[in-house]
Amino acid sequence: MPKKPDIKNPIFIKKISLKNYRTYKDLEIELNKNIQTLVGPNECGKTNFLLTFELFNDLNAIVESDKCNYVDDFSEIQTEIEFTLNPVLLRNHLNNPSIEETKIKFHGNQRIIECPNEDFTELNGYKISLKTSLPTGRVHITQPELIKELSLPSNHHIEQDKTYEFFIEDENRIKEFKNYIDTHQNKDEIDFIIEKEIKTIPKNEKINKYIDNLNIINWKFDKKYYIPNSIPFSDLKSQPKKYQSIVNFFRIANIDIEDFLNTNDHARRDNILRSVNESVSEVLNQSWTQYQDLELNIFLSSDNALHIGFLENKRTINPNRRSLGFQWFFAFLLHFNANFGNEFRNCIILLDEPGIHLHPGGQKDLLKEIEKLSYYNQVIYTTHLPFMINRNHPERLIILNKKKGITELKKPWKEGVFDNILIANTLGFSFTGLSNFSEVNLFVEGKTDQILIEKLSIVYTESKKEDLLDLNYVSIIPIYGLSNLDPFIRVANMCNINYFGIIDGDEIGRKKLEKYKKKPEKYKSVHEKLFILEDNKEIEDTIPLAILNQSLDKIKQEIYPWKDLIDEEFKFEKGEINPQIDKMITKLIDKHKQNQFDDKIDINELKSTPFKLELMLSVVKHIDAKNFHKFEELINLLKRINVKAIEVLKSLRN
């Protein structure tokens, strides 16, 4: 990416339009989050979507055979891919607040930029000059950004007496380069000169440069990332690039592999390998929770070969004896951790079916790593795996489908609600094929409680950048009435399932809690796992009155049959909400019996349960970053539960 100060949670591409391309007839897909997850059945166009990014590196990436066969006269219509740049980042980069929406069109084998402002712009920056008098091959550069700016050959060596010059705007990058040179082993023999400079260029030229510098990484697990059991030292020294995974070991330890390869001091080599083993083992154990206390064990044998293994229970296991899932995860971890903070900042990272070889626990570990990558990168990945969907962020999902051979977008049945059934069907599971239980489970009395808690947790997480409840590890389970709590607890105890519960503070709830307290030997400290609301309160009573009435107004305007039935003057008042709903429903039933309504309205529809569901669906639409804090009582309760849930999760991993 152009070297501006690192941007947190960046979105470089805001929208992509695809016309007459493979399975895409004419579709526009918005990228509103800096992590986007594409889900859908096989051959619905997920991988095709990722492949469009190849156009940034190769204008001929799309050929005649890529045209959509389902477009009338498709052979006569050109394929067109259009990327819309995020104007906020572009304005920041161009130092020009007037820049409007800019589009990049790939049409045929041409790249066309559409920018409403095509005047000139001034660049305030610095000219950097670098030169050494040392013989070629003596000065080796390892800083990736500097290698790129200097356009160094593959060996990364500086030529003797050659002056390297480049222009740069970002002072932070200059400081990075200067610090690197100041700590270089040949620093006294390197001339590094910084001079202020102003350049005037056509704005489109700068936009072109911005586009050219978009760093797009389509990461795939291939042979170069496999970790060998051993390597002849001479092979590693002559061809280090061939062994990228080994180079990455050293980069994680912040050690130049050339220092290891070029020293003849055996004690120094041993110390370097010890540092590498410790650094990589630390990264591995922080990220891989499947088995703890794995250690990397690299050593140089008497036959002058570098041996690689993993210490587990005091035994060394060769890399090729590890599972394919572990090899995939470890390669991913190595690749991105080795480069994180350097060239893997301000990038667009594409991942096709990441974690496909991983156990669900490993997929959740991978989700955390993708989350880390997204701090300074835009990430787009495809998946068929339910555990590769971050349940804290349903807004990141792009659901694709294929109808009559053509890719289409599929919308959730209710906006703002994480529809588990829709996701399950999209991923190819039946309704009963997925268990709702997770590592930790929160029992709630009804479906409306689940909907409210999930939405509040999602908005809280998105706004505060911290979990209220981590929905990747905590499932909200509706038990459909407090009378069902006993059987749910029995099942949980029989299956060794971790659970907590929220129960209403009404008389029934208080009696239930008291029963568990009186018989701890029978109910195994159940009362310690239950959280009760304040006296006479149900979850609906924790909803701010203003949001309740906003939601009610929406129902009165839009939702059948209630829009034709509820009195315009009816409003919720302070106090218990469910008795007010029941009273309203009773009045509606009486009016129905007196034939005051259209005969088409079925009296069986006039019940509290469907109305409460519609009310809660309307409520969750109104919860946003501006008002979620008004749910203070419920948020505080969920925070207490989250503390307990974290304790359980830690115990499971020890």
Output DSSP code: residue 443: E
Neighbour-count burial of 206, counting CB atoms closer than 10 A to its CB (0-12 exposed, 13-18 middle, 19+ buried) = buried
Check residue 433 and give its pLDDT. 42
Q: What residue segments make up the domains of the chain, in order of their start?
A: 120-202, 230-317, 440-535+632-653, 545-626
pTM as predicted: 0.71
Q: Kindly give the interhelix angle for 244-252 and 324-339, rounded to the nearest 10 degrees.
A: 60
Neighbour-count burial of 153, counting CB atoms closer than 10 A to its CB (0-12 exposed, 13-18 middle, 19+ buried) = exposed
Chain mean pLDDT for the chain: 84
Indicate whether 599 pLDDT > 80: no
Check residue 573 and give its pLDDT. 92
38-42: average pLDDT: 90
Name 587's Cβ contacts closer than 8 Å, sequence gap at least 6.
none
Give, in order, the Cα–Cα distances in Å from 651 to each of 35, 205, 289, 365, 654. Answer: 30, 57, 12, 16, 5
Ranges 86-100, 354-368, 622-636: which has the least confidence: 86-100
Extract the tokens encoding 362. 């490993």
Q: How far apart are CA 579 and CA 599, in angstroms?
A: 27
Extract the tokens encoding 148. 């790129």
Which residue did the predictor score with more confidence, 299 or 61? Answer: 299
The amino acid at 532: I
Neighbour-count burial of 96, counting CB atoms closer than 10 A to its CB (0-12 exposed, 13-18 middle, 19+ buried) = middle
- pLDDT band at residue 300 under the 50/70/90 scheme: very high
Sign of the alpha-carbon torsion through 260, 266, 135, 127: positive
Q: Is 334 helix (H, G, I), strand (E, B) or coil?
A: helix
CA-CA-CA-CA torsion for 275, 280, 281, 283, nearest 10 degrees? 130
The secondary structure of 229-261 as a DSSP string is SEEEHHHHHH-GGG-HHHHHHHHHTT--HHHHH
- Residue 158: HSE in the Cβ half-sphere, 13 Å Cα cutoff: 30
Q: How far apart are CA 39 and CA 46, in angstroms?
A: 7
280-296: average pLDDT: 86
562-590: average pLDDT: 85
- Answer yes or no: CATH 3.40.50 is held by domain 440-535+632-653: yes
Indicate whether 637 pLDDT > 90: yes
The amino acid at 189: E
Q: How far apart are CA 637 and CA 505, in angstroms?
A: 13
Extract the tokens encoding 5. 């100060």
pLDDT tens per residue, range 420-464: 555 655 666 543 344 577 889 999 999 899 999 999 999 999 899
Extract the tokens encoding 206. 């700068």
Which residue did the predictor score with more confidence, 629 or 430? Answer: 629
pLDDT tens per residue, range 472-485: 889 999 998 898 88
Indicate whether 348 pLDDT > 70: yes
CB 220 within 8 A of CB 297: no
pLDDT tens per residue, range 185-234: 888 999 999 988 877 655 567 777 788 888 899 988 877 778 899 999 99
pLDDT tens per residue, range 151-195: 888 778 899 999 998 888 778 888 888 888 998 888 899 999 998
Tell me how many degrees the CA angle 293-299-303 measures, rounded to the nearest 5.
150
Q: How far apart are CA 518 and CA 511, in angstroms?
A: 11
Check residue 407 and give its pLDDT. 93
Q: How far apart are CA 255 and CA 271, in angstroms?
A: 11
Indicate whether 5 pLDDT > 70: no
The secondary structure of 606-617 as a DSSP string is --HHHHHHHHHH
Alpha helix stretches (DSSP H) within 412-506 = 420-426, 447-464, 485-494
Extract the tokens encoding 542. 């924790």
Extract the tokens encoding 44. 């619905």
Indicate whether 505 pLDDT > 80: yes
Tell me how many degrees the CA angle 91-92-96 measures, rounded to the nearest 5.
45
Per this entry, what is the length of the chain? 654
Check residue 431 and give its pLDDT. 39
Q: How far apart are CA 527 and CA 613, in angstroms?
A: 29
Check residue 625 and give its pLDDT. 93
Name 1's Cβ contacts closer than 8 Å, sequence gap at least 6.
10, 12, 213, 214, 215, 345, 346, 347
526-539: average pLDDT: 90
Q: How far apart are CA 167 and CA 128, in angstroms?
A: 6
pLDDT tens per residue, range 315-328: 889 998 988 888 88
Helices (H) and strands (E) in the chain, counts: 20, 22
Most confident range, picked from 59-73, 442-456, 552-566: 442-456
512-516: average pLDDT: 89
Name 102's Cβ contacts closer than 8 Å, sequence gap at least 6.
84, 85, 87, 90, 113, 114, 115, 207
Q: How far apart are CA 210 and CA 231, in angstroms?
A: 41
Give, in order, the Cα–Cα distances in Å from 416 to each of 222, 433, 454, 619. Answer: 38, 24, 10, 10
